[in-house]
Amino acid sequence: MVFLRTSEKAGSCFIRTDQLDGETDWKLKVAVSCTQRLPALGYYQAEMADAALNRSGETIHPCIFQSSGTVSLLASCVMTAVGFSSVPLLRFMMSAHKVEENPPSLLDLFSINAYVHAQKPLLDIHSFEGTFTREDSDPPIHESLSIENTLWASTIVASGTVIGVVIYTGKETRSVMNTSNPQNKVGLLDLELNQLTKALFLALVALSVVMVTLQGFVGPWYRNLFRFLLLFSYIIPISLRVNLDMGKAAYGWLIMADGSIPGTVVRTSTIPEELGRLVYLLTDKTGTLTQNEMVFKRLHLGTVSYGMDTMDEIQSHVRDSCSQLHYQATTSTPPRKAQSSAPKVKKSVSSRVHEAVKAIALCHNVTPVYEPRAGGTGEAEHAEVDQDFSDENRTYQAASPDEVALVQWTESVGLTLVNRDLTSMQLRTPSGQILTYSVLQTFPFTSESKRMGVIVRDESTAEITFYMKGADVAMSTIVQYNDWLEEECGNMAREGLRTLVVAKRTLTEEQYQDFESRHAQARLSVHDRALKVAAVLESLERDMQLLCVTGVEDRLQEHVRPTLETLRNAGIKIWMLTGDKLETATCIAKSSHLVSRTQDIHVFRPVTSRGEAHLELNAFRRKHDCALVISGDSLEVCLRYYEHELVELACQCPAVVCCRCSPTQKARIVKLLRQHTHRRTCAIGDGGNDVSMIQAADCGIGIEGKEGKAASLAADFSIQRFEHVGRLLVVHGRSSYKRSAALGQFVMHRGLVISTMQAVFSSIFYFASVPLYQGFLMVGYATVYTMFPVFSLVLDQDVKPEMAMLYPELYKDLTKGRSLSFKTFFIWVLISIYQGGILMFGALVLFESEFVHVVAISFTALVLTELLMVALTVRTWHWLMVVAEFLSLGCYVASLAFLNEYFDVAFITTVTFLWKVSAITVVSCLPLYVLKYLKRKLSPPSYSKLTS
């Protein structure tokens, strides 16, 4: 929406964009000056009139205006299909309005004839180009529109009441264009078990066909085939899905009950095992790795450096210099020239410090906001904004937290920003004097220029000064020659500080007027506006006086460094995807140890064409073991022409940082990693702009932070702080995967054993399709007799949680999927065939007279074998496992008294029955215990060395 008018006297308002771009700082938006300057005609109340359609092809769009987040005003605008180069022409006609408390005047807007040229809808949320033209004035007024003249959907107006004309609606809004549809997530373990189940189904069909073939296809063989399919149907583990889903629910409960990661919520209970298979972790920066709280740490003037412990010296320098300037201004006499050498040096340092602090206090886009005092009336509140500059009421708002940190620091050393609007700034000196400056031009920060500037006029001296600050790489060619800038910026960067170089240039009135005319002409260009404006600005950016270098620290979240180190040791590659600036992202990557101090960083140069992308990729290919830093624009170009090559090279890097990424780009990077590597990915973020990325990943983790709960509610797992990720993955993810792998294979083994016994039984009795066990025995085998011990495997653990956190290298083995593979599955199949054969043959060999004895001996031995196999599989006993074992055994023994139709009660109470069952059970289980002992001695698993 183009911002036409506001109730704020300054002609600007703030919007909160935390759910759109993840930034918690308020953005300053400026009304179109042509409409903001219209004279107020008072407040009227009338019905809203519909805009008349006066040409074919026109469609009415409702314009929605927000005041402090609530819809307050409506108007109608008429959109026509006129335009050029796919840029629609938007004409608006407004009718009378319904007045709320203290709204901006609308009636004057209804009487003008104007139109807007706007870009076609784009994904980029950081840019907008258009022009506003008023036709009914003489001459016609033309005004350029940029991103600062627009209000966005999915944001909240934080100050005043605004009027605007809607340009993009529905699917054309950038917030909607940057969202993606969620997908159903299926865990890799479930897919692997599905593959094994398919193999078991083929085995079932093959075994049934073999049995019918051995029968010789006698009689109605197809009927026998279906009977065998039913007899051997226990090969298909129908209870597997139930056991796994119950296990997943148990894992979720264990995660939420863990006191070490309080506040964790499992929102998707189907994929806890995914936490144990991750190879790539893609994280947001602002609010996830950092607290988004800036602290001023260092001021360097070239010959002298000030740190946190010497800020009082800066305060005294500023106080001395301000008092001297105030004395000169009041006496209006030149200072004495005859002075000793010592005061000369002191005066020189004081003036340099004062000049640097003044530049920092003036060169920014920060606006002081005065909060109304509790219990004050509405009139008092408005009076305070004009008169009361008391410190306790003041807060600062800006598009970047760096800016706020700098202005807060200048306040702490004595130079306070007390008021600002679009045309002026006021500073208060330590003595209470108010210095007023007119703001002539403001040049906002862009990712291309890497700097911002402001031209101000001192009202007391009429001196015009051009102040500029920016990244050292951008400012080094602009400032006068010096021999310390590059070295000091490098030193600060190594300390994890974000550096800004501050410079100034004094302009004459003629120089400024010439620049202003050329700049205004360039801003009205529709084609290549950015290039033309940059070219005009470049004429000023020459031979500037270097004032100082500042160092600001972005506070990291607690324990971010050890958490990242834990994840790296666990074999997880970490990518940082952020919408922030390249320099900021690089600095945080270093300070958080995402990139180690000894590691090289390859900054991918901006590319716009296929040839440039090819050259830059070749240059990157020659680098080895270095982190990659790439911007969203360059990434887009490379993915268009060299998608496979870029992903292949990036996957070899120990760390990757993608800056200036839109929400759509974040989601696309996740999808590319999944497609090209076929590895499991995890995305973690805390803002609404991270939702697309979280939903695109195999496993999404949301953090509840300053940016709201959008990411937390859309994620599969919600945590309170980034440091909880380490335990969530290394402890809970690892144990969930290993437990589910053991549980799944054991359920398959349980079905294979009884199916093997059925096959042996049918083979001995002339391939008859007769069931070995009938009725309740088959039901009880899969439920009360074996369910509790088998399900108790979800409590098993190979190492203690503390040990898993201490040795995150244990996590690496899981990514290879060795806990559940065709190899382990084949081993369990062999075990099932061996045990099923022993149990059936043993019962047939040892029974004497009646067939019912075969059933009693074999089934009892089968239940005991399953209980002993659970004990063989368990690595660490839990008291509930012991209870489950004895409970199941007790249920079976108790049920023998009621199963007269299946068992001979007189026989099962004899010693003969007991020794035969014991003998068969020992033969089926003892060799496996021996093999397990030998394997642990000869080839122990990695975790066994830690538990011993």
Q: Enumerate the active-site residues.
A: 284
At 395, the amino acid letter reads: T
Residues 6+ apart with CB under 8 A from 179: 663, 691, 692
Q: Do the Cβ atoms of 503 and 544 come closer than 8 Å?
A: yes
Q: How crowded is the C-beta side of 233, counted as CA atoms within 13 Å?
A: 12
Distances from the Cα of 346 to the Cα of 244, 312, 349, 353, 412, angstroms: 77, 15, 5, 11, 21
Number of H helices, E strands in the chain: 34, 31
Residues 239, 784: Cα–Cα separation, whole Å: 13
Residues 6+ apart with CB under 8 A from 310: none
- Helix runs in 874-910, H state only: 879-896, 905-908
At 618, the amino acid letter reads: N
Residues 6+ apart with CB under 8 A from 341: none
DSSP 243-298: HHHHHHHHHHHHHHT-TTSTT-EES-TT-GGGGGSEEEEEE-STTTTEEEEEEEEE
Q: Give yes or no for a cis peptide into 139 (omega within 30° of 0).
A: yes
| Nearest by Cα to 282 from 547, 677, 60, 576 | 576
Q: Do the Cβ atoms of 806 and 825 come closer than 8 Å?
A: no
Residues 616, 612: Cα–Cα separation, whole Å: 6
At 876, the amino acid letter reads: T
Give the H or E element holding residue 63.
strand 59-67
DSSP 89-143: EEE---------SSPPP-HHHHT--EEEEEPPP-S-SS---EEEEE-SSSSPEEE
Residues 152, 156: Cα–Cα separation, whole Å: 9
β partners of residue 290: 556
Residues 6+ apart with CB under 8 A from 808: 566, 567, 569, 570, 726, 730
Q: At what angle do helices 822-846 and 911-938 cross, to 10 degrees?
A: 150
**Tokens at 428, concatenated:** 């208060």
Distances from the Cα of 932 to the Cα of 873, 940, 941, angstroms: 10, 10, 11
Residues 587, 593: Cα–Cα separation, whole Å: 10
| Nearest by Cα to 32 from 50, 59, 5, 7 | 5
| Nearest by Cα to 423 from 396, 454, 450 | 454
| Nearest by Cα to 743 from 249, 241, 186 | 241
